């Protein structure tokens, strides 16, 4: 431990904020802090460690246990999982039914789809009506940002303003539908827990005594309600340590607020602030590059990470012609490393979106190089997995009509209408013992023979204390023939299903299993993890990890930053931080690939520029190809095409410009082809008509 780390680890009681750069030992400091508290005689049971994923908590607690076995009893988890446990125990005091189940974003979209149909708000042929996913995102955004739906629509989806009244009706009906079915979404978990802590002083007191020390990792990615929950949980003692890095905040799109870090000392008086700046992970040439990438950010704490490691190779930028060439070059570099004796698990390839690695994955398979992939895949959102889970979910919550609907529609000849008619008979079900007999006695039972099998399944599943794995095995036995009938590509799906018993075996109760699969689904692809694999990961899923040798692929405009973010200056800033997170994972070598072309359906190959976050870096920071663009690409002819957009955009994002009234400013982005967004110091962000703005370069 260095001096700053030691200070953070050994402080006594009271609030503490650790602001730490990438690779400066945040995780290590938290682990040592936990072990130190236990060594000082603090009861391990009274320490709560809140992390971003369940895996992070268990990894840190394993490390703490290695330092001191008494750490085995330290409590750990995510805000959501702790909220779930609290609501399960105390939820009835705020009138939450005991049998509530948690729904994931896919379920939310499903409910919204139902509500939209029921309300009849979408007119036939209206192709501009927002998609279910857009509506779900807007509702969640408005809750996370704690803005009215109206304000959220105006700020984030102005083009949908004409639908506002209909969206408000949908939002209201969605809330009601969740209430009717005792369903709780991710956002509800946090807000209901806040309600619980706010309105039930005895619960607050009890928890204040139970958890005497609370430590929070990745504080930059918490949202407003999480910050308040932390306050409620610590009102009794204020023993709270949060650790975060504003430069690594990458979940603003989900409502995370970097301000939580900035405001922490105001919320908790007498906060001790510690800054960690010595980086132990990367060589100086890598740090020079990453420091530069983040120093171009609009705002943030000034940090200058340094290392005492000497030497190291300069990061390198390569510009393969297109995707196939990129995969080939990555493979060559990987082969070189392996030939030098580097282990595959010391190598990772990072990218912006899950699909970015598909081509490379085929190349790796063809060469029989084993890999694991993180991010971009949500195993439990696969429809066949959801089919299976629906049977278990109704066991836990008889009111979960969403799941009833899903499992009934798997029966031969049962469509949505019939499913609804059947559900009308199920509304008075109270416990799983009643399901089997009820299904067998339905008036529809003779017409739909599938109901008989389903009834038998539920008779057999009605064992309140059965382990989740046993229930899972029975459901699978019932479901597999259905899967074969329902899906043409059933062999692949059956293979996925084989992973489910293993997942179920990790939980001892059905509640726990259902909550874990929704709140913290496995991050990797299902299946056995090879012994010494290469890692492929999205930048989001790479957070907190490190590898000696790192490749970043698709570092081109439109891919990283993602095209969808390019018109929104704040989104671009988040993409920049994401690039920073990606590059700071590298310890010894960093190689960045920026393909020069991308193939678009219909329009063919289009030129891609180097990602703006890496463009214009001096060659001493980033080694670049000797020649300029090696492959000439014909300019696109159609005026709507992406290529022409850059012609209509006379200033680079990040360039300095001057305006007669507002003075000097920085170009933040474009809105369409005719508006430019410029940040003018004290005048703030302005959207100007390019034609009229009369800007000049500085
Ligand atoms: N005092 C120290 N002495 C030696 N190595 C250290 C020290 N502190 C941290 N390290 C090493 O530095 C690396 C980065 O540490 P850690 O993963 O805790 O950083 P972090 O701040 O959580 O990083 P990030 O936020 O970038 O994910 C690890 O390999 C860790 O073992």
In three-state form (DSSP H/G/I as H, E/B as E, the rest C), the secondary structure along 55-117 is HHHHHHHHHHHHHCHHHHHCEEEEHHHHHHHHHHHHHHHHCCCCCCEECCHHHHHHHHHHHHH
**CATH topology for the 3-89+189-278 domain:** Rossmann fold (3.40.50)
Q: Which structure tokens are listed for 356?
A: 């970015």
Q: What pLDDT does residue 115 have?
A: 94
215 alpha carbon to ligand 1 midpoint, in Å? 17
Q: Across residues 118-142, what is the average pLDDT?
A: 91
Q: What pLDDT does residue 221 have?
A: 92
Query: Phi, psi at residue 520, to the nearest 5°?
Result: -145, 65
CATH number, domain 379-519, options 2.40.50, 1.10.486, 3.30.1380, 3.40.50 = 1.10.486
pLDDT tens for 552-561 read: 999 999 999 9
Answer whether residue 641 shows pLDDT above 50.
Answer: no
Between 390-404, 456-470, 597-611, the lowest mean confidence (pLDDT) is in: 597-611
**Contact predicate 520/379, CB 8 Å:** no
Answer whether residue 643 shows pLDDT above 70.
Answer: no
Q: What pLDDT does residue 627 have?
A: 56
- List all residues whose CB is within 6 A of at least one atom of ligand 1: 1-2, 5, 20, 22-28, 245, 248, 280-281, 544, 546, 584
Q: Which structure tokens are listed for 5?
A: 């780390």
Answer whether residue 209 shows pLDDT above 90.
Answer: yes
Q: Which residue has the higher pLDDT, 124 or 272?
A: 272
The sign of the CA dihedral 116, 118, 120, 126 is: positive
Answer whether residue 655 shows pLDDT above 90.
Answer: no
Answer whether residue 434 shows pLDDT above 90.
Answer: yes
Q: Across residues 523-545, what is the average pLDDT?
A: 84
211 alpha carbon to ligand 1 midpoint, in Å? 27
Q: What pLDDT does residue 414 have?
A: 92
280 alpha carbon to ligand 1 midpoint, in Å? 6
Q: Which atom of ligand 1 is nearest to the CA of 26?
A: 21
Q: Across residues 357-384, what is the average pLDDT?
A: 88
Q: Which atom of ligand 1 is nearest to the CA of 248?
A: 25
Tell whether omega for the bond before 353 is within 30 degrees of 0, i.e. cis: no
What is the rounded average pLDDT for all residues in the chain? 89
Answer whether residue 525 shows pLDDT above 70.
Answer: no
Answer whether residue 637 shows pLDDT above 90.
Answer: no
Q: Which residue has the higher pLDDT, 295 or 520?
A: 295
Residue nearest to atom 6 of ligand 1 (CA): 280
pLDDT tens for 5-46 read: 999 999 989 999 999 989 999 999 999 999 999 999 999 999
Q: Across residues 546-570, what is the average pLDDT?
A: 93
- As a dihedral over the C-alpha atoms of residue 29, residue 30, residue 36, residue 39, rounded to 10 degrees, the angle is -140
Pocket test residue of 28, 346, 542 for ligand 1, highest count of atoms within 8 A of CB: 28
Is 21 annotated to bind ligand? Answer: yes
Distance in angstroms (rounded) separating the CA atoms of residues 659 and 234: 49
Pocket test residue of 6, 8, 27 for ligand 1, highest count of atoms within 8 A of CB: 27
Q: Across residues 203-218, what is the average pLDDT?
A: 96
Q: What pLDDT does residue 304 have?
A: 75
For domain 316-376+529-616, give the CATH superfamily: P-loop containing nucleotide triphosphate hydrolases (3.40.50.300)
Q: What pLDDT does residue 397 have?
A: 92
Between 201-205, 386-390, 659-663, the lowest mean confidence (pLDDT) is in: 659-663
Q: What pLDDT does residue 633 have?
A: 46
Answer whether residue 104 shows pLDDT above 80.
Answer: yes
Q: What pLDDT does residue 635 have?
A: 43
Q: Which helix (H) or strand (E) holds 500?
A: helix 500-504
Q: 259-285 burial by CB neighbour count: b if 16+ within 10 A, else e?
A: ebbbebeeebeebbebebebbbbbbbb
Answer whether residue 527 shows pLDDT above 80.
Answer: no
- As a dihedral over the C-alpha atoms of residue 635, residue 639, residue 641, residue 646, rounded to 10 degrees, the angle is 70
**Contact predicate 665/656, CB 8 Å:** yes
* ipTM for this model: 0.96
């Amino acid at each position: 431990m260095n001096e700053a780390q030691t200070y953070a680890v050994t402080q006594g009681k009271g609030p503490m904020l650790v602001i730490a750069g990438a690779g400066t030992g945040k995780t290590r400091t938290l682990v040592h802090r936990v072990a130190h508290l236990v060594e000082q005689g603090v009861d391990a049971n009274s320490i709560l460690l809140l992390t971003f994923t369940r895996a992070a908590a268990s990894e840190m607690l394993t490390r703490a246990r290695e330092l001191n076995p008494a750490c085995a009893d330290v409590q750990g988890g995510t805000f959501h999982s702790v909220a779930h446990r609290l609501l399960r125990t105390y939820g009835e005091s705020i009138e939450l039914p005991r049998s509530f189940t948690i729904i994931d974003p896919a379920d939310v979209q499903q409910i919204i789809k139902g509500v939209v149909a029921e309300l009849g708000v979408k007119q036939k042929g209206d192709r501009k009506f927002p998609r279910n996913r857009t509506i779900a995102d807007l509702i969640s955004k408005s809750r996370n940002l704690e803005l009215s739906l109206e304000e959220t629509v105006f700020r984030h989806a102005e083009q949908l303003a004409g639908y506002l009244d209909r969206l408000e009706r949908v939002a209201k009906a969605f809330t009601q539908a969740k209430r009717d079915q005792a369903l709780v979404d991710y956002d509800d978990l946090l807000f209901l827990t806040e309600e619980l802590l706010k309105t039930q002083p005895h619960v607050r007191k009890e928890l204040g005594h139970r958890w005497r020390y609370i430590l929070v990792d990745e504080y930059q990615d918490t949202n407003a309600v999480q910050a308040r929950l932390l306050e409620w949980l610590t009102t009794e003692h204020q023993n709270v340590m949060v650790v975060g890095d504003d430069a690594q905040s990458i979940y603003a799109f989900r409502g995370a607020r970097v301000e939580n870090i900035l405001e922490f000392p105001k919320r908790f008086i007498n906060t001790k602030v510690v800054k960690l700046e010595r980086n132990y992970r990367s060589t100086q040439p890598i740090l020079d590059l990453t420091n530069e990438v983040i120093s171009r950010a609009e705002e943030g704490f000034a940090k200058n990470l340094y290392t005492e490691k000497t030497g190291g190779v300069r990061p390198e930028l390569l510009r393969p012609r297109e995707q196939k060439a990129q995969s080939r070059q990555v493979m060559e570099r990987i082969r070189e490393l392996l030939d030098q004796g580097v282990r595959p698990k010391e190598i990772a390839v990072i990218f912006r979106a899950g699909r970015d690695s598909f081509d490379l994955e085929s190349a790796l398979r063809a060469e029989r190089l084993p890999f694991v992939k993180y991010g971009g895949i949500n195993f439990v959102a696969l429809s066949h997995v959801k089919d299976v889970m629906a049977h278990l979910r109704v066991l836990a919550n008889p009111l979960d009509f969403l799941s009833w609907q899903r499992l009934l529609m798997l029966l031969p000849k049962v469509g949505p209408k019939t499913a609804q008619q059947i559900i009308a008979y199920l509304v008075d079900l109270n416990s799983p013992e009643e399901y089997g007999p009820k299904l067998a006695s339905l008036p529809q039972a003779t017409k739909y023979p599938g109901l008989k099998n389903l009834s038998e399944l539920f008779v057999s599943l009605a064992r309140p204390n059965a382990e989740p794995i046993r229930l899972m095995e029975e459901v699978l036995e019932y479901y597999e023939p259905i899967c074969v009938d329902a899906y043409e590509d059933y062999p692949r799906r059956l293979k996925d299903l084989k992973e489910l018993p293993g997942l179920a075996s990790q939980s001892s109760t059905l509640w726990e299993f259902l909550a874990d699969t929704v709140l913290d689904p496995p991050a990797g692809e299902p299946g056995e993890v090879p012994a010494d694999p290469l890692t492929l990961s999205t930048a989001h899923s790479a957070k907190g990890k490190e590898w000696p040798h790192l490749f970043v692929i698709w570092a081109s405009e439109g891919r990283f930053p993602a095209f969808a973010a390019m018109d929104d200056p704040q989104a671009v800033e988040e993409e920049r931080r994401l690039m920073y997170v990606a590059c700071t994972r590298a310890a010894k070598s960093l190689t960045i690939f920026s393909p020069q072309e991308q193939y678009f359906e219909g329009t063919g190959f289009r030129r891609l520029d180097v990602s703006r976050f890496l463009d214009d870096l001096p060659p001493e920071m980033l080694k670049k190809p000797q020649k300029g663009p090696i492959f000439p690409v014909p300019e696109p002819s159609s005026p709507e095409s992406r290529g022409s957009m850059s012609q209509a955009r006379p200033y680079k994002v990040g360039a300095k410009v001057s305006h007669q009234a507002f003075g000097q400013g920085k170009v933040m982005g474009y809105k369409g082809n005719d508006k430019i967004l410029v940040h003018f110091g004290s005048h703030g962000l302005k959207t100007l008509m390019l034609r009229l703005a009369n800007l000049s370069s500085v």
